[in-house]
Structure 1
Amino acid sequence: MTPFTFQAPSNILFEAGASKKLAERVAEYHAWRVMLVTDRGVRGAGLTRDAEAALTAAGFELTVFEDVVADPPSHVIESAAALCREQDVDVVVSIGGGSALDTAKLVAYLAKSSDRLADIYGVGLAKGERLPLILVPTTAGTGSEVTPISIVTTPTTEKKGVVSPVLIPDWAILDPELTIGLPAHVTAATGIDAMVHAIEAYTSKIKKNPISDQLARQALKLLSSNLRRVCADGSDIEARSEMLLGSMLAGMAFANAPVAAVHALAYPIGAIFHVPHGLSNALVLPHVLDFNRQAAEPLYADLADIVAPGHRANSSKAAADAFIAEVTALCRDCGVPTTLTAVGIAEGDLPKLAEDAMKQTRLLVNNPRELTYEETLAIYGAALAGRSPVAA
């Protein structure tokens, strides 16, 4: 068996209403000053209210940073870290989507270490200490609450990652009640994002391993069997719970068997056109799957039994077709836009997208099939027109 390593948070709490117990977790660190990292939408929706009340009632001095925005720019992260240092914070907590959680990871690190953000982009460059860190997701999508990764938008609109085990939080707290009010279009996009994490972890070229495989398969089963259901009825707490669990398992899978070309092609769409990350993934997903089929067909055939359990394929190719068709249909049935045109991208934008995608070497090295600039441009072209790779 090929040697591998596997890393995950040391503590996970999964429970409806778990966010109300946040003060109990913070108290474990004998802390006094706490920073809550979130965004105005999440706080305005009341999703942090119970946690804030519990922390205040327990006697903690609370500083709230609510200026997180989607695809967090480096200057926002640096401002939050500066505030954290200024307030002499003991513990960093985040309640929100992937952007808030990614911001909080770096705030906890930058406030404690002497590193500059610009110096730690890449894999394994953040080697210092960080403050205690507790993450509470409000979407079933990014899995950021269990990963060692933070994604940052640089001043040149390029998305870069900071990847280091030191960013894995001390606690991941999963409260499905926080996802109840999520709009259907956000539910769909974040759910597809989580599915991509599972798919790309299962087909990752370099670090795929037995543990990540099992997590990816279980995640994909939970996500694919509940996404239509939760988009149709957002108050279904059981479906919400299974989506949140699936998202976390997918996060643990791709944290150890990294994502690849779907994310590499999605990043420029989000960075340049400010398209939400999950939607960016969904727009290129069927076309990257079709491109990768040549190298990943047996693996796609494996996954067909999970996402399309009723398929009757009599060959590996037919099973892979069934897999791609079902993933494409899932995106369509949940109301996800199917063309780049639908998000304001024109043919003249594609060369820039392809150029920026090719810079994502950290991700592309994991893809089961090597990509050239010309092939990347062709994939964007297929996504622009929304040409379906297989009948869905």
Structure 2
Amino acid sequence: MSNVIALPRVLRIGAGALNDLSVLLTDLGCRRPLIVTDEFLTSTGAVARLGQSLAAAGIEFSVFDRVVPDPTTDSLRPAVDMARADGCDAVVGFGGGSSLDTAKAVALLATTDRPMRDFKAPTTTDQPLLPLVAIPTTAGSGSEATRFTVITDSETGEKMLCPGLAFLPTAAIIDYTLTMSMPPRLTADTGIDALTHAVEAYVSVKANPFSDGFALTAISTIASCLRSVYRDGSDEQAREQMMLAATQAGIAFSNSSVALVHGMSRPLGAHFHVSHGLSNAMLFPAVAEFSLPGARSRYADCARAYGVADDGVSDEVAGERFVDELRRLNHDLAVPSPRTLGVDAERWSALLPTMAEQALASGSPQNNPVVPTADEICEIYRRIY
């Protein structure tokens, strides 16, 4: 059976790559982009600097800077309206995962009158859309290289996974200097997010030789850099390696799949507004322990790539060491539990059946080495609380 591999047409990688945006847009034949970003990046002057480089190249542009964390269908509408009113012929997503998710959705919705819920999984959308350039400012989501976006339905509260080639950026700019000012908490959460992507891509039932190579390389790189960059955000070499690893992990899971962690993570964001990376981190050790019996050799490979086991250790021991290391990593990076984060215990318990149902409905748990029941998902939620 063949595997369908899809990548952005162009990746520009390295310090100063942001300066290549005007050349990239010109090469794509785009002269009127909409920059989709957030108010923070506007306040820092980053958007103005980006705009100056475009203006100097004679490229007109519009700016939508009202991206919200965990974007909703309501939050998309003003951006879509701006893209249409200003005659934009491309979308540039500039920011973290929420900005890139918003940009992907806007690039599609600007070409159709259909609602976003029409594009949620299990529907796969491969139709053409406005050219999309992704510029991540965090090292985690990997969204710059994936064929997915995640948007919350404002009416139902459902956090919708929307897959398909329509959401794969046409091009991406990977400039690690944009991550140098990330605070420790964001560094930790996005870093564990990238690790989760790589591990889930590797243990997924949809894993393949192409995605495996990217996943294992990302695991090894993150293991060597994440604690360092959490302790010292000015470590430029570690920042560069983490940025590259996040993109590699994104390529891996985009061409394999994510699994149970992500299926269970999305309801946490929808109901409790826990950031995606943090909710993944909360779940990762418990889900890995649950999934280990279904993929011992694969988790052992992850342990060896990570550096907590060698070839002389049995797969069973190596896999257990990896789960133990995920717990240590959470401790060292001060990952809170839902309880310590302030999530109400009664509301948590009351929502367990709904969250389990939504996790299963996303389709991601079906890619897990051990496919859980709703009751088993509820039990994992209880354990991490």
Q: TM-score range by the shorter chain?
A: over 0.9
With over 3 angstroms needed to count, the CA separation of the structure-2 counterparts of 1:313 and 1:282, relative to structure 1, is: farther
| Residue type of the alignment partner of 1:181 | S
Task: Spell out the pairing of 1:215-230 with structure 2 (5 A cutoff).
Answer: 215-230=214-229
1:265 aligns with 2:268: no
| Residue type of the alignment partner of 2:99 | A
Q: Which string of whole-angstrom CA distances, capped at 9 and with x for unpartnered residues, describes residues 124-166 of structure 1?
A: 5434321111110001100000111010011222110111112
Q: Which residue of 1 aligns with 2:172?
A: 172
Q: Which residue of 2 aligns with 1:162?
A: 162
Q: Which residue of 2 aligns with 1:374?
A: 375
Q: Which residue of 2 aligns with 1:23?
A: 22
Secondary structure of 1:122's counterpart equals coil
Q: Offset of 1:258 from its aligned partner? A: 0.8
Structure 2 counterpart of 1:345, from 308, 332, 343: 343
Task: Spell out the pairing of 1:230-241 with structure 2 (5 A cutoff).
Answer: 230-241=229-240
| Residue type of the alignment partner of 1:172 | A
Q: Offset of 1:168 from its aligned partner? A: 1.1
Q: Offset of 1:313 from its aligned partner? A: 6.8
Q: Offset of 1:223 from its aligned partner? A: 1.2
Q: Which residue of 1 aligns with 2:132?
A: 133
With over 3 angstroms needed to count, the CA separation of the structure-2 counterparts of 1:142 and 1:12, relative to structure 1, is: same
Whole-angstrom CA distance in 1 between matches of 2:4 and 2:188: 32
Asked if the contact 2:218/2:248 (under 8 Å) is kept, the reply is yes
Q: Which residue of 1 aligns with 2:328?
A: 329
Secondary structure of 2:329's counterpart equals helix
Asked if the contact 2:303/2:309 (under 8 Å) is kept, the reply is no
Which shows bigger deviation, 42-51 or 136-145? 42-51
Q: Offset of 1:49 from its aligned partner? A: 3.4
1:81 aligns with 2:72: no
Q: Offset of 1:312 from its aligned partner? A: 8.5
Q: Offset of 1:86 from its aligned partner? A: 1.1
Q: Offset of 1:353 from its aligned partner? A: 3.6
Q: Which string of whole-angstrom CA distances, capped at 9 and with x for unpartnered residues, describes residues 180-234 of structure 1?
A: 00001000000000000001000112x2100111110001111121000111111
Which shows bigger deviation, 119-128 or 154-163? 119-128
Q: Which residue of 1 aligns with 2:100?
A: 101
Which shows bigger deviation, 355-364 or 190-199? 355-364
| Residue type of the alignment partner of 2:90 | V
Asked if the contact 1:293/1:300 (under 8 Å) is kept, the reply is yes
Runs of 5+ unmatched residues, structure 1? 385-392
Task: Spell out the pairing of 1:199-214 with structure 2 (5 A cutoff).
Answer: 199-205=199-205, 207-214=206-213
Secondary structure of 1:202's counterpart equals helix
Q: Which residue of 1 aligns with 2:197?
A: 197
Whole-angstrom CA distance in 1 between matches of 2:30 and 2:315: 56
Whole-angstrom CA distance in 1 between matches of 2:60 and 2:356: 43
Task: Provide the aligned length of Structure 1 versus Structure 2.
Answer: 381
With over 3 angstroms needed to count, the CA separation of the structure-2 counterparts of 1:372 and 1:351, relative to structure 1, is: farther
Asked if the contact 2:309/2:318 (under 8 Å) is kept, the reply is no
| Residue type of the alignment partner of 2:339 | T
Whole-angstrom CA distance in 2 between matches of 1:175 and 1:197: 20
Which shows bigger deviation, 248-257 or 50-59? 50-59
Q: Which residue of 1 aligns with 2:249?
A: 250
Q: Once the two structures are aligned, what percentage of the paired residues are identical?
A: 37
Secondary structure of 1:118's counterpart equals helix
Asked if the contact 1:137/1:174 (under 8 Å) is kept, the reply is yes
Q: Offset of 1:46 from its aligned partner? A: 3.1
With over 3 angstroms needed to count, the CA separation of the structure-2 counterparts of 1:312 and 1:322, relative to structure 1, is: farther
Asked if the contact 2:221/2:241 (under 8 Å) is kept, the reply is yes
Which shows bigger deviation, 41-50 or 209-218? 41-50
Whole-angstrom CA distance in 2 between matches of 1:146 and 1:158: 24
Q: Which string of whole-angstrom CA distances, capped at 9 and with x for unpartnered residues, describes residues 93-147 of structure 1?
A: 1110011011111111111234332211124543432111111000110000011
Whole-angstrom CA distance in 1 between matches of 2:126 and 2:340: 42
Q: Which string of whole-angstrom CA distances, capped at 9 and with x for unpartnered residues, describes residues 267-311 of structure 1?
A: 111111111110000111111011111112221111111223456
Secondary structure of 2:66's counterpart equals coil
| Residue type of the alignment partner of 1:111 | A
Q: Which residue of 2 aligns with 1:389?
A: none
Q: Which residue of 2 aligns with 1:390?
A: none
Whole-angstrom CA distance in 2 between matches of 1:311 and 1:355: 41
Q: Which residue of 2 aligns with 1:14?
A: 13
Whole-angstrom CA distance in 1 between matches of 2:262 and 2:312: 29
TM-score where L is the length of structure 2: 0.95
Whole-angstrom CA distance in 2 between matches of 1:191 and 1:301: 21
Asked if the contact 1:93/1:134 (under 8 Å) is kept, the reply is yes
Asked if the contact 1:158/1:271 (under 8 Å) is kept, the reply is yes
Runs of 5+ unmatched residues, structure 2? none
Asked if the contact 1:105/1:169 (under 8 Å) is kept, the reply is yes
TM-score where L is the length of structure 1: 0.93
Asked if the contact 2:308/2:318 (under 8 Å) is kept, the reply is no
Q: Offset of 1:375 from its aligned partner? A: 1.0
| Residue type of the alignment partner of 2:32 | R
